[in-house]
Structure 1
Amino acid sequence: MKSLFALTLTAIIAFGPVSAAYADTSGTFTGASDHVTKGGVTITKNADGTATVTFDQSFSLDGAPDPRVGFGKDGSFVSVADLGALKNLNGAQSYVVPASLNIDDYNELYIWCLEFAVPLGVAQLN
């Protein structure tokens, strides 16, 4: 019978360290299009293939019509990566990213004004 250590070591060699598979990504919002957007965001990959986008308590947006939350890449909002309406103009909140959306394809998180098609805030993800 193999020891627990041998089984654990075999699992790490075969699958890699568990913590690396679910490393968090984070960023800090800056305003855009003459809007004030502040606060931090963390994105956590979940074991079921989904991810969770979490705004910290310091998040704030000065207001705008139809603000949305979504991903972008290299300075452009990607409409298929829209996570839905911004829940609150201030404070902590979270959004579920479906497993069908590969967050590794994006390097920015946007607060996007759907009505005027302009960014309200952008967080570079690292």
Structure 2
Amino acid sequence: MKILLNAFLALGLTVLATFGATAGTSGSFIGKSNHITTGGVTIVKNADGTATVTLDENFSLDGAPDPRVAFGKDGSYAPEADLGELKNLNGKQVYTVPASVNIDDYNEVYIWCLKFSVPLGVAALN
């Protein structure tokens, strides 16, 4: 019975590894445009081709009108890689990356003020 239980446990872990996250990258926000933006971000690319962006539980933005979450590259915000409105000024948040966005094309995550077209915070991805 113990051998059978261990076999099921091993099979379950194999299935989780197969269908779970396959690659990830992360970074930490630095405030921009006189805003205080702190906390971390993690990008996970799943085995099924989907990807998510997670702002960690320590994420914080001091406030701004119309903040958005988006990708960028080499110091430039990429409006075509917008993930949507920032859900909360503080805490963990998860965003689904649209299939039209190739996360490998970007090396930064932006918190962007759409109203004034300025960065509120940028996290370089490593």
TM-score (norm 2): 0.82
Q: Which moved more, 1:91-100 or 1:62-71?
A: 91-100
Alignment match, 1:49: 49
The residue number in structure 1 matching 2:71 is: 71
Q: CA deviation at 1:48?
A: 2.2
- Partner of 1:114 in structure 2? 114
Task: Output the CA distance in 2 between the equivalents of 1:79 and 1:96.
Answer: 16
Contact 2:50 2:97 in 1 (8 A): yes
Aligned residues, how many?
A: 107
Deviation at 1:25, TM superposition (A): 0.5
Alpha carbons 2:110, 2:123 under 8 Å: kept: yes
Deviates more, 1:43-52 or 1:85-94: 43-52
Unaligned 5+ segments in structure 1 are 1-17
Residue number in structure 2 paired with 1:13? none
Q: Partner of 1:24: helix, strand, or coil?
A: strand
Matches of 2:36 and 2:104, distance apart in 1: 27
Aligned to 1:98: 98
Note if contact 2:23-2:46 (Cα within 8 Å) is conserved in structure 1.
no
Superposition deviation, residue 99 in structure 1:
2.2
Looking at structure 1, the residues matched to 71 and 65 of structure 2 have their Cα atoms a distance apart, in angstroms, of 19
Moved over 6 A (4+): none
Residue 50 of structure 1, CA deviation: 1.5
RMSD: 1.2
CA distance, structure 2, for counterparts of residue 117 and residue 27 of structure 1: 22
2:98 and 2:81 map into 1 onto residues whose CA distance is 10
